[in-house]
């Protein structure tokens, strides 16, 4: 059957990615959207769009009945699930097929078989694929171990447990997160292989028995068990290990009668031994690096296989190297707290591919994951691809939100990454999540001068009644207060920062230090001033005396939903004790007591929606 109109049962960058291939193939794309996504780019780029009333995933993108109804209402004849949400739901695939629509993916029975992770491991072991043993999540005695969600993936519902005293709490947290993300709170445990590498093989199979192994991807740079940087081919592995990985992946696909694009994931030890993790019965977030190296369109092949087309006898030969970085709205220096608000400007320069779900003016809320975009670089060699990607990220303009951009650049330029010495504990081992020391004073001076240019109207820059007094502007950067003083003299602008002002305008200020001139691009969005990669907050000269600070207050670090209250009023707590747990962007975030004392006020309850800065509890010494 030839597909003419395709419903994309997803959102954000993957929806735009599928729509792009539909345009190239002459297929009419149909989008779905929740209320917060009504103005999203993927909605505008589709030929038609159907509203899913509500905001939370459970009432919108996780509703199989609404998605099937949307497909029928729009006259679609096929459904592409993207990734995440219901992409690995056998019941959703069955509902699509029962409605007489074409399902772009493997058979529901295959999805079910691989979705039950424990049973999937047993099936892989029977097929000769090496696996890790299962541990009982209720009574495990071998530590460290990893608690994992049986349904879904993407790092959600995963917790590291290093001792028996942590087991019950981490299992409960993993179940809550898995239930929220996938609608299934079932979890299981495996031994934790520390310093192992996360390597996966892209497979593509047709309905006629052909299975391709399209190289392997190195996905070891992770935070909270979620990938941040992926590349292909995997560095530093031998040809013999590569061949065994590919053979194991093909055996896995053949053992379950796989059809479509999928990924077989493994943990790889230093000695070359590897263990099966799971089969992702869908397209992966990191599929663009495989497309870049093999010169093909995996979404186009998904659609062709769904239409019954045969794969050629041999896959295309790989060429060069590709690296992908996930640009996310989150703060690595604050335990990966998500960042929400308006994305005022989004630009990524250079010879790179950008798959994004956002644009200038996009609103980033708390209901969905923090991924803003994937930036992919290809080059003939690994070193060239890594250098190209780091430069593009460094020069990117991402204004209005805190992101992980600087962390990604530090990873890509780290000597150990450059030589391919990666593993799943890479960020912690090298202390890359800590905030680096940044001298933001030159950027603050540039901001102050640019703001003055914007204000001056017909008056000369720096004009004032008392010329002997300096101009003063105050900014906040990463919790630090920066006061900028400068004065206009006959010789030019005098500053206390040891720099020379060469040129000023409302958008660019050129400063010189030690004979080196540097342009500082300045962009202003309300009280936020973006100077290159430095984000500043303009502070009022005369603070509001009515501003109240509640001593001992524990405030919400981000907008979200209270999913757990761990204390009661009157309870005595120690410093660092867990007070509440918030859920935002599909992840849990703990709110801890800054100091020991007594809980004298508890302002939040389970299920309550809170805003950033809301006082949730007060602990008095």
Residues designated catalytic? 282
What is the per-residue DSSP string for 533-554? TEEEEEPPSS--TT----TTEE
Q: Are strands 48-51 and 28-33 parallel, antiparallel or unpaired?
A: parallel
Task: Let me know: does 533 contact 405? Beta carbons within 8 Å.
Answer: yes
Beta strands in 386-533 (DSSP E): 397-399, 471-477, 480-489, 492-495, 500-504, 508-513, 516-525, 528-531
Spell 68-83 as b/e; 16+ CB within 10 A means b: bebbeebebbbbbbbb
Contacts of 272 (CB under 8 A, 6+ apart): 237, 238, 240, 241
Rounded-to-integer distance, Cα 504 and Cα 452, Å: 10
Residues 232, 322 contacting (CB under 8 angstroms)? yes
Residue 341 to residue 358: CA distance in whole angstroms: 12
Contact 41, 33 (CB under 8 A): no
Give dist(CA 613, CA 517) in Å, integer: 40
Burial label for 165, CB within 10 Å (0-12, 13-18, 19+), is exposed
β-strand pairing of 597-602 with 330-331: unpaired
Residues 198 and 179: their CA atoms lie apart, in Å, by: 25
Q: Which residues pair with 493 in a beta bridge?
A: 488
Dist. CA 110–CA 518, nearest whole Å: 57
Bridge partners of 274, per DSSP, are 268
Please, which residues have CB within 8 angstroms of residue 579's CB and are 6 or more apart in sequence?
A: 554, 565, 566, 567, 573, 591, 592, 593, 599, 616, 617, 619
| Helix H or strand E encompassing 425 | none
Dist CA 178 CA 173 (whole Å): 9
Dist. CA 593–CA 382, nearest whole Å: 45
CA distance 407 to 228: 10
Q: Are 255 and 130 in contact (CB under 8 A)?
A: no
Cα three-residue angle 427-587-225, rounded to 5 degrees:
35
Of the candidates 205, 189, 306, 308, the one whose C-alpha atom is nearest the C-alpha of residue 249 is: 205
């Amino acid at each position: 059957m030839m597909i003419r109109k395709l419903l994309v049962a997803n959102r954000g960058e993957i929806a735009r990615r599928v729509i792009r291939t539909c345009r190239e193939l002459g297929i009419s794309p149909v989008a779905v959207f929740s209320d917060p996504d009504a103005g999203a780019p993927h909605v505008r780029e589709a030929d038609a769009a159907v509203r899913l009333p509500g905001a939370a995933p459970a009432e919108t993108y996780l509703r199989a009945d609404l998605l099937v109804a949307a497909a029928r209402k729009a006259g679609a004849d096929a459904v592409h699930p993207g990734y995440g949400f219901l992409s690995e739901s056998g019941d959703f695939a069955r509902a699509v097929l029962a409605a007489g629509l074409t399902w772009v993916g493997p058979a529901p029975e295959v999805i079910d078989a691989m979705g039950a992770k424990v049973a999937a491991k047993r099936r892989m072991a029977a097929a000769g694929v090496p696996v890790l043993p299962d541990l009982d999540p209720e009574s495990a005695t071998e530590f460290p171990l990893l608690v994992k969600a049986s349904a879904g993936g993407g790092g959600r519902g995963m917790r590291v447990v290093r001792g028996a005293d942590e087991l019950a709490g981490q299992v409960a947290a993993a179940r809550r997160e898995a239930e929220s993300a996938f609608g299934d709170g079932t979890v299981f445990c495996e031994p934790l292989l520390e310093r192992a590498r996360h390597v996966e093989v892209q497979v593509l199979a047709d309905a006629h028995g052909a299975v391709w192994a399209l190289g392997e991807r190195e996905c070891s740079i992770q935070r909270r068990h979620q990938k941040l940087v992926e590349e292909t081919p995997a560095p530093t592995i031998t040809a013999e290990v590569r061949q065994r990985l590919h053979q194991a992946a093909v055996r896995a696909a053949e053992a379950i009668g796989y059809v479509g694009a999928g990924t077989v994931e493994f943990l790889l030890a230093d000695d070359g031994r590897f263990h099966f993790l799971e089969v992702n019965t869908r397209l992966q977030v990191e599929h663009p690096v495989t497309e870049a190296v093999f010169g093909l369109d995996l979404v186009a092949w998904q659609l062709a296989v769904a239409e019954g087309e045969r794969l050629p006898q041999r896959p295309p030969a790989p060429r060069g190297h590709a690296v992908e970085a996930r640009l996310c709205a989150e703060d690595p220096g604050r335990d990966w707290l998500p960042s929400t608000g308006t994305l005022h400007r989004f630009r990524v320069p250079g010879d790179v591919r950008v798959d994004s779900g956002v644009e200038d003016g996009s609103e980033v809320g708390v209901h969905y994951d923090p991924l803003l975009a994937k930036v992919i670089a290809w080059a003939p060699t690994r070193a060239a691809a890594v250098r190209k990607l780091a430069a593009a990220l460094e020069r990117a303009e991402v204004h209005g939100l805190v992101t992980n951009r600087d962390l990604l650049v530090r990873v890509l330029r780290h000597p150990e990454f450059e030589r391919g010495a990666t593993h799943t504990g890479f960020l912690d081992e090298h202390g890359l999540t800590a905030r680096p020391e940044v001298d933001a004073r030159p950027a603050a001076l540039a901001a102050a001068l640019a703001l003055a240019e914007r204000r001056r109207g017909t008056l000369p820059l720096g004009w004032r009644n008392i010329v002997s007094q300096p101009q003063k502007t105050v900014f906040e950067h990463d919790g630090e207060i920066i006061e900028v003083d400068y004065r206009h003299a006959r010789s030019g602008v005098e500053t206390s920062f040891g720099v020379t002002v060469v040129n000023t305008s409302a958008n660019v200020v050129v400063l010189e230090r030690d004979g080196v001139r540097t342009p500082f691009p300045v962009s202003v969005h309300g009280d936020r001033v973006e100077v290159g990669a430095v984000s500043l907050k303009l502070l009022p000269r005369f603070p509001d005396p009515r501003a109240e600070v509640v001593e001992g207050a524990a405030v919400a670090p981000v907008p979200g939903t209270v999913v757990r209250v761990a204390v009661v009023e009157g309870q005595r707590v120690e410093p660092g004790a867990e007070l509440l747990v918030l859920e935002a962007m599909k992840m849990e975030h703990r709110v801890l007591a800054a100091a020991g004392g007594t809980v004298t006020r508890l302002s939040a309850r389970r299920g309550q929606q809170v805003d950033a800065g809301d006082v949730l509890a007060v602990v008095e010494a």
